[in-house]
Amino acid sequence: MPMHDAKKVVRRFNEEVIAGGDRSAFEALIAPGFINRSAPPGASDGAESMWNTFENVLRPALAGLKVTIHDQVEEGDKVTTRKTISGVHAGPLFGVKATGKPVSIDVIDIVRVAEGRYIEHWGINSSLDRARQFATALADI
């Protein structure tokens, strides 16, 4: 695969799947046997779990969901992307009620791409991790 093609696959996934909610693009871009190495403990690490996060967690919580890609670096079959997922907090997010305020989640993803499809994903997003911890702490009170 030429160097620029893997970046295009990742950019397309961010635009069409995460921002656009396009299920057919998701199915076209996720390989059978895909593994999400950043799935929360106890959660499925397969493709449907990742789709569920976008469609049933992020999309309802963030009105006008937008993905802004700041940087992409390709090395071998992996693409690292630094991006921001943003929107207006319009629905519950990990137990935190909607505030109506703008929300920005900074993310760094590493995706392994083969034959134009995602086969593995690793990600760090401190805002979502903090929200999960906050919601868990509130539940314990």
- Residue 31: Cβ within 10 Å count: 16
Domain ranges of the chain: 3-140
Once rounded to an integer, what is the mean pLDDT over residues 16-23? Answer: 97
pLDDT for 88 beyond 60: yes
* pTM of the shown model: 0.86
Q: What does the alpha-carbon distance between residue 119 and residue 32 come to, in Å, rounded to a whole number?
A: 8
What is the third-level CATH fold of 3-140?
Nuclear Transport Factor 2; Chain: A, (3.10.450)
- What's the chain's average pLDDT? 88
Once rounded to an integer, what is the mean pLDDT over residues 5-25? Answer: 97
pLDDT for 140 beyond 60: no
